[in-house]
Structure 1
Amino acid sequence: MVELSEKMTTNVETERNTSTLQMTMLLVAIGCLMAAPLFFYPIFLMKLLCFALFACAFNLLLGYTGLLSFGHATFFGGAAYFTAHAMKEWGVTPEVGVLIGVAGAALLGLVVGFVAIRRQGIYFAMITLALGQMFYFFCLQAGFTRGEDGIQSVPRGYLFGFVDLGNTTNMYYFVLAVFVVGVAIIWRFINSPFGMILKSIRENEARATSLGYSVARYKLGAFVMSAALTGLAGGVKALVFQFATLTDVGWQMSGEVILMTLLGGIGTLIGPIVGAGLVVTLQNYLATSDFPVTIITGIVFMVCVLLFRRGIIGELHASRLGKKLGF
């Protein structure tokens, strides 16, 4: 009894220390992001935050539900188009424009998910790719997207009618707030009973079905949630760069977010953020060099596959150091 009591006390103290360490790390990270515009180019930081949220939303589907989608650019680019069109043609405020993008992405997610979840594995992935390419050609031909020119000169407007997002500093803190809210929603989602069921489906779908869970409904719910959060990232991205183009809905964008998630580590909250930061940083700082960025990115991916099969954060999570730090 004494040994059991001591062991329980030790476990409680360990959990308390881990929680304190994680909270400290979170506060430090938020503080760094708040001060980051003083040291880095704000547009680069906003791009990084948008793609980090995109990767986290994709990881919600791949890492926690076990569904590999090759068509997530549909929701990212679709939301960018919806937000850009609403801002430029309808003159709505930025928060309304972003919400229109999120709603449009969620609706697309409902349609694509309803069709795709009827299959598993590579068949699921191929269906999402095929539907994504269908949407790409729709955007190429549709009048409101303006074809290959895209929607350009999108006004940022005034947030809630009085905060001028034309000011780069204001825009950065708006993007940061959206990123924090988006990650908080994902954290709450994966730690809810719904998220626990998704993890059980990922581990053993047949057993989840035998326990009475409607697997198809849970998969569809996760797909729509992932699409909506991806749309949040896409809508904000359209405001940051003030345009929406076919690049946002191309299959290359879907491949890019898969790369980000795998590099950071699937099934971890921080992993996709690290992966997105690595890829966006390489793209930004190597853009002016003579050496192709894609080759460097490919080499980094090969190294991670060979040395960090779980991804950067995934390997850290499995290591002793990661357990001490509470990853």
Structure 2
Amino acid sequence: MILSRLAARPALLAVGLVVALGLPWFVYPPVAMDMLCWALFAAALDLLLGYTGLLSFGHAAFWGGSAYAAGLMAVHWGVPFPVAVLGGALFAALLAVPIGYLSVRLRGIYFAMVTLAFAQMVYFVANQWRDVTGGENGLQGVPREFFGVDLSDPFFFYYAGLPFILLGMLAVWRVVRSPFGRVLMSIRDNPARAQALGYPVERYKLLAFVLSAGLSGLAGGLYAISHGFASLHEVYWTTSGQAVMAVVLGGIGTLWGGAIGAGLIVELNDYLATAGFTETGLVTGGIFVVIVLVFRRGIWGTARHLLASRRTRAAGAGAEKESEPSTRQEAVAR
């Protein structure tokens, strides 16, 4: 069973890489880029929710803050888009330090509400600072320059931005599989015991919060460069809610689930908007309720649980078959 799990991991990674490389050939390239950005956003949020046990409703501050920061650097400084995206991720990580320091001391719904309050403060600043952010009109005309090359074609920009998403997903996967990630899971399961073992729980939570914010900012900055603008919607609380919904739909604590949930939500919203349906929230909310009721562990989480149960039953049946000959031999000897 252990060998089969080890063999399945490279296969899943290969499938994910093939899907990422071939996605713009089957999906409109800007929509494909949105899927990747939201997939990384969901994975970054799952690092905090699924592996640390902290539900944040304020990650729109880091996604949107990075979008504005990357857009401003590209517009006013004329830097290539990779520099702008990395600068936006750094801004999101720095913004998360004071917010996380004041938030990680709380638990449960109190932590969620405090992060939401900070995100609304960022939204207020972005709305009022019109000379910089553009206010309700947003920050427009963000270029996609790559060291003198204009990547206005969304198909080519997709492959130019793909390495950032892959590196971000690799970073999340590496954190989860590291000893640091194991400590985060122990804090999630029993913070008092982790504290008794000598781990500084609040420091670990703060570091996880900053890492999650930085990766969210990486996705948000790339999203803004892809669309060519940054708007107030990027820092509004519904953006955080959509990321949480993507994680829950796919499966909390699975990483792959967040990417699947994000892809489904983006594709569904695009399909409904193209069809001229304005109340997209009504449909996505209804699907969310159905999936939560039917798939308690999310789509990917339920599939993984069923597969693990099937392997366990198969291993038990094999053990019973192996024990039958020895039982017969004992009966004959008696």
Same fold (TM over 0.5): yes
Residue 107 (structure 2) pairs with residue 83 (structure 1)? no
**In structure 2, what is the Cα distance between the partners aligned to 1:173 and 1:71?**
30
Please tell me whether the aligned partners of residues 316 and 322 of structure 1 are also in contact (alpha carbons under 8 angstroms): no
Residues 308-317 or 270-279, more deviating: 308-317
CA drift at 1:29: 2.9
1:134 deviates by 0.8
The match for 1:45 among 10, 18, 32 is 32
Cα deviations across residues 160-197 of structure 1 (Å, max 9, x unaligned)?
x2554223232111222111111110000011111100
Structure 2 Cα separation of the partners of residues 320 and 255 of structure 1:
30
Are residue 274 (structure 1) and residue 263 (structure 2) matched? no
Select 2:143's aligned residue among 133, 155, 175: 155
Task: Give the alignment partner of residue 178 of structure 2, picking from 192, 209, 232.
Answer: 192
The aligned residue for residue 171 of structure 1 is 157
Return the match for 2:251 from 255, 265, 290.
265
Q: Deviation at 1:305?
A: 1.5
What pairs up with 1:307-326 in 2 under 5 angstroms? 307-320=294-307
1:246 is aligned to 2:264 = no
Residue number in structure 1 paired with 2:19: 32
Count of residue pairs brought into register by the alignment: 310
Give, in whole Å, the separation in 1 of the partners of 2:310 and 2:170: 22
How many Å separate the matches in 2 of 1:16 and 1:269?
21
Q: CA deviation at 1:99?
A: 1.4
Letter aligned with residue 222 of structure 1: A
Superposition TM-score, scaled by structure 1 size: 0.91
- Aligned residue among 118, 122, 130 for 2:117: 130
What is the rounded CA distance, in whole Å, between the counterparts of 2:59 and 2:136 in structure 1? 20
Residue of structure 1 aligned with 2:198, choices 208, 212, 235: 212
Structure 1 residues 102-124: Cα deviation after superposition (integer angstroms, max 9, x where no partner): 11100111111011112111111
Mapped pair 1:284 → 2:270: yes
Instruction: Tell me which moved more, 47-56 or 18-27.
Output: 18-27
| Secondary structure at the counterpart of residue 133 of structure 2 | coil
Deviation at 1:92, TM superposition (A): 0.9
Greater C-alpha radius of gyration: 2
Structure 1 unmatched ranges of 5 or more: 1-13
Aligned to 2:321: none
Residue in 2 aligned with 1:226? 212
Aligned partners of 1:80 and 1:236 also within 8 Å: yes
What are the residue-to-residue correspondences of 1:289-300 with 2, within 5 Å?
Answer: 289-290=276-277, 292-300=279-287
Q: What SS class does the counterpart of residue 154 from structure 1 fall into?
A: coil
**Equivalent residues of 1:57, 1:226 under 8 A apart:** yes
What is the distance in 1 between the residues matched to 2:222 and 2:80? 13
CA deviation profile, 1:187-218 (whole Å, cap 9, x unmatched): 00011111100000000000001111100100
Residue identity matched to 2:306: S
Given candidates 51, 54, 59, the residue that maps to 1:67 is 54
Instruction: Report matched runs for 1:89-104 at 5 Å.
Output: 89-104=76-91
Q: Using the alignment, how far apart are the partners of 2:157 and 2:5 within structure 1?
A: 34
Match of 2:127 in 1: 140
Q: In 2, Cα distance between the equivalents of 1:321 and 1:67?
A: 26
For the residues of structure 2 that align with 1:251 and 1:307, how far apart are their CA atoms?
27
Higher share of residues assigned helix: 2
Q: Which of 94, 106, 117 is the aligned partner of 2:93?
A: 106
